[in-house]
Amino acid sequence: MAFTYAAKKQAATRKTKLFRKDGIKLLLMALPFVIFTIAFSYVPLFGWIYAFFDYRPGIPLDQTPFIGLENFRNMLSDTRMGPVLINTLALSLLSILTAPIPLLFAIMLSEVKTEWFKRLVQTVSTLPNYISWIIVFSLAFSMFSTEGAVNSIMTKMGIPGAPVDVLGNFDRVWTVQTLLLLWKSVGWSAIIYLAAIVGIDAEQYDAAKVDGAGRFRMIWHITLPSIMPTFIVLLLLSVSNLLSAGFEQYLVFSNVMIADRIEVLDLYVYRLGLVTGDYSYSTAVGIFKTLISVLLLFTVNALSKKVRGQSII
């Protein structure tokens, strides 16, 4: 009996040491990513102090006048803040409205039985995610500018209304940018749903076939309910990023004709800080955006806990 107890204790000690050794290895593997996150996500938070000073480049901070919350009060009287917020919210809401499209694309792709065709479609649809927005702008300009390929074909065919200025249309800029973002991200976003579909128990489909269910009914009663929790989590995360409409896309597509319609909050902060040199005020606007985003995140997390019974963070 004593021998058995000693053997069990020795085995438990050996197992604990093994877990500790594996834990140290995993920690060392994660350490570069932790350092990267701290360096680029948390260390810059010390720069928030500039929002409370009338900072000018070249003047030490201890010799800079302290202005307290004046920059935050200036946001209330900033005539550009209203249109910028409207642009940001409109583009974010349009992106949220198109959120079901990657889900539907993933379902349709999962129903394809020809493996080589499925891989081809998935590769082609995912490829735009790896193309920079500068290249996307170059392609869009060569295709849809007034002298681009599409307008040239329309003009030669004698189609009325040609040429059409797609990239400089003030009234259609939100629609055009949403379609471009959808084209670039739909394949990449569908990967998450494809992974969720693969994880569905195949016995459910076998049982449905025995009961005489067709493909549409199996999709409606098995596939959709199974991946809906994934969709809800991603949708709630999109809501929490409501003020993060993007930056690179609207920077490269901005021009004189649509500048007032495409300027989002991130682009506005960039222009305040690096173009006009108003570092203090741009920092205050960035703090405002961050605090609202954190508030939205905790709000949707509480909503998720109340509706789904579990939180997302």
Q: What is the mean pLDDT of residues 81-103?
A: 92
Higher pLDDT, 184 or 4: 184
Average predicted confidence (pLDDT) for the chain: 85
Please spell the DSSP secondary structure of 147-160, one letter per residue: TSHHHHHHHHTT-T
197 has a pLDDT exceeding 50: yes
CATH class of 78-308: mainly alpha
What φ, ψ does residue 282 adopt, rounded to 5°? -65, -35
> Do residues 125 and 190 make contact, with C-beta atoms less than 8 angstroms apart?
yes
Tell me 171's DSSP state.
Answer: T
Identify the band that residue 15 occupies on the pLDDT scale cut at 50, 70 and 90: low
Beta bridge partner(s), residue 66: 53
Higher pLDDT, 157 or 3: 157
Q: What is the mean pLDDT of residues 202-227?
A: 85
> Do residues 148 and 142 make contact, with C-beta atoms less than 8 angstroms apart?
yes
For residue 275, the SS3 value is helix
3 has a pLDDT exceeding 50: no
For the chain, which residues make up each domain, given as ranges? 78-308
Identify the band that residue 12 occupies on the pLDDT scale cut at 50, 70 and 90: low
115 has a pLDDT exceeding 50: yes
> Do residues 90 and 173 make contact, with C-beta atoms less than 8 angstroms apart?
no
> Do residues 155 and 163 make contact, with C-beta atoms less than 8 angstroms apart?
yes
In angstroms, rounded to a whole number, what is the distance separating the alpha carbons of residues 167 and 159? 19
Please tell me the pTM assigned to this model: 0.82
The pLDDT tens digits of the residues spanning 149-173 come to: 888 888 888 887 778 888 888 888 9
> Do residues 219 and 181 make contact, with C-beta atoms less than 8 angstroms apart?
no
